[in-house]
Structure 1
Amino acid sequence: MLDTSREQNPAPSKEPRGCLFALSQPPLMIFLTVIGVLLLMASVHDLFLL
């Protein structure tokens, strides 16, 4: 016979964190900012100094 009684309450499932949560992390934002600044500096160098 299958026991269908529940002695414990199931833990509430946490909502999965999406991409916006990952983008809000400071180390990732610092990394993306550094990459963006390097790309900007390279493009300005190519446009105005070459």
Structure 2
Amino acid sequence: MSEFYKYFKQNMDALNLPAPESIFGTVQSAVANTTVIVSYIEKLERM
């Protein structure tokens, strides 16, 4: 496991999101995860 994936997985776990092991997860999960991440970013920008 690469160091990047190790930290990526920790961050995704903290957000209760799945972290696919391959670079190509399903399109649906990629879109869903991106939507959640963007919503967190938008919340942080409003603070």
Give the TM-score taking structure 2 as reference length.
Answer: 0.49
- If asked which structure has higher relative contact order (CA below 8 Å, sep 6+), I would say 2
More helix by share: 2
Give the TM-score taking structure 1 as reference length.
Answer: 0.47
